Structure 1
Amino acid sequence: MTRFDRSSLSRREYARALVAAGGLSALAACLETSDGEPDVPSGTDDPDALPERQHAWNDTVATDDDGNVALPEHHVLVPIELTTVVDDDARETVETAFRTLERAYEWSNEGLVFTVGYTPSYFDRFDESLPDTVDLPAPEALTSGESPDFDAYDALIHLASDRPSVVLEAEEALFGEREQVNGVDLEVDLTDVFARVDEQRRTGFVGAGLPADYADLDGVPDSVPEEAPFFMGFRAGFTDSQATEDRVTIEDGSFAGGTTQHVESMAINLTQWFDQENHYQRVSKLFSPAHAADDLVGGVGEELGGSSLVTDEVIASTADDARDRGVVGHAQKAARAREDGDPLLLRRDFNTVDGDRPGLHFLSLQRAVDEFVRVREAMNGEDLDVSMANNGIRHYIFVERRGNYLVPPRSLRALPVADPG
């Protein structure tokens, strides 16, 4: 395929194209291009020493100059379907495979961080129900006019690393295509328990300057800022706009220490976003009219530092901005769902060019899926007196898939029953 012709791509473009392609040939090519890079740091001899929370990433991944958590650059979402009965032998196989990754790779952005989450469909096989402390409904459409497909397989593995070769190697190792990972021998793999659902495999990337590399792809205009970490041209993940890992952790019951995860895959109309809107309008629609009027953001959000500056005053003015200015901001609307001033969602979303077009895999963690729904309803802004074209960024994003997952604590991540208690 010409898209994977290394002569026409930069090194990092080529690496991301290989992650998107997946498979052994992509891994071999990726390892070849990474020759000469520093060794991948090794993992731990004692996986039990790792945090009980699978989603405990923030203390071990990088931060930017303003103290915001910087997600790993490369991401793969691997959907899997159970092919055997749930019993202790299967659990031992799954746990051993995951522990091999933890022994092989440091729990960091330079090594590998990962989670495994289970769908409502997985838990439907058990006679008992999930405990009342877990809110995990089946996914559903959440905006007027959307008709997304729903994730109905059994589980989803999220692999993330700054090294493209690591996410590819880890994925292939889990499914029997490697004898070693980062120098660690493989005892077992997942092939006796799970099969990959290849048609729903999703990939992506996040980081300053990475989206602009795709300016030669249909639907990605040259006007994507060179330093933007996301396709829509601005930074995200400001410390004050992110829930803490404590806030999204289930506190009580059998799955205490776990969390819930929502994955929303969407296409983005970047051509309209950049060609029909100027910078002032984009700031107004992504942040708030006050951010644009007071010139708070800068070119890609660098002026904001570690704060989104979505203050109580900005939030309180949402309805007035809709009525008087005829425009409201995406962040401004969503912040209306905060509790006691604190965000409910911990976002770990990333850009994608799956299907050779620009998009976003919006991945959020929250204590209960209902909290995601509440934030999404606030972001929809259907209660506001404003046109769709000026209702934040809704006019430019198109939801195509949704999925809900329970991410158990590490001690229960291998084929949990519905109520371990």
Structure 2
Amino acid sequence: MPNGFQNSPALRRQFFDLVCAGTPVIRAEERLGVSRNTGWYLWRKAGAMRLLQGKGDKGLAEPGDLSRPGGRGHRLSFGERIEIMRGRDAQLTYAEIGRQIGRTGSVIWREVNRNANPDGDYHAGMAHARATQKAKRPKGFALDDPALCAKVEAWMDDGWSPRLIAEVLARDHPDDKLGRVSHETIYKCLYVQTRGHLRADLHRCLSTKRATRKTRGQSERRGKFNDAFSIRDRPAEAEDRAVPGHWEGDLIIGANSSSAIGTLVERTTRFTILLHLPTDHTAESVASAMIAAMSELPAHLRRTITWDRGSEMANWREVKLQLQAPVYFCDPHSPWQRGTNENTNRLLRFWFEKSTDLSVHTKADLKRVQDKLNTRPRPTLDLNTPADRLAALLTQAA
């Protein structure tokens, strides 16, 4: 390539301007006085879009839609990209360029990183054409392998979340990109028609049962326990999960609030215990079920219990006395303070749907679900299972 192009960014910029403005490469070469094929070499080296090679085109570029509006709510326009190019030439920061065109600095940063030339030079015309090419639809879809789809469907039928599936596939196929899929790709396949080959009804296997994403609602109102320990009094070792034996509990409520299942989750191992409440979920029934289930654990694995401020825990003093474990309560309207239990209850909704009669589930049914959840790989445990983590603790203690 001639030294004129090699040593002159301004000359290269002129060449890009001509081609992006609709001048064929061969004509741009003649206008700038460079040898034949030099422009083609420069264009390929800059990582530019493919040129039209039809009869009479002789290297004509597709500039993209130059009339597209810019500003908030729109993609960047060609005029905005020109301002970004000028700002870069003037060595302005991303924030300063953003203020000039009414965008945030992060938008400018992403634009430059996505659409600049490989050598770091940002050219408005080439960036605009690149962005237009990337925005073309429809695009190919990653989840079109029948074997991979079958594996995803089988795991989702068993209650696995898209994120867990993605992480397990990444662990099992570290060097095989075709054997992996991101959780966002799975969600797109579930929420957008014709986006892959998963079953159309598979979104019902999600914990929310929703076909679209929605924001969370407000927390439910609960009762008062003015004389009980607050979660603020809970030992620091429970908060950082450094020591096992700290549990969080709540109820999963069924249809018309007449049926329920108790849930207990250990914070360190995420091991889950389900409490069978076949007739009611009064304070007496919940306390009896909790004492019976947790009495089987060694003392070092029942250090504390944290619960929401529901009336079902009115007999918390009896629970504390029988299990020799202090009971703590969340602040009013703050169920998120029991994050481990809230997340587990959401997983359990795969088997125990809202607005259904939970009293139909037998104790054996609860044991089966409990075992399924405790033998499922968990991302928070580096894809180990809660059952394995608890077994290791019991073996260590023995």
Shorter-chain TM-score bucket reads under 0.3
Higher relative contact order (CA 8 A, sep 6+): 1
Q: Which has the higher helix share?
A: 2
Q: TM-score, normalization: structure 2?
A: 0.21
Q: TM-score, normalization: structure 1?
A: 0.20
Q: Which has the higher strand share?
A: 1
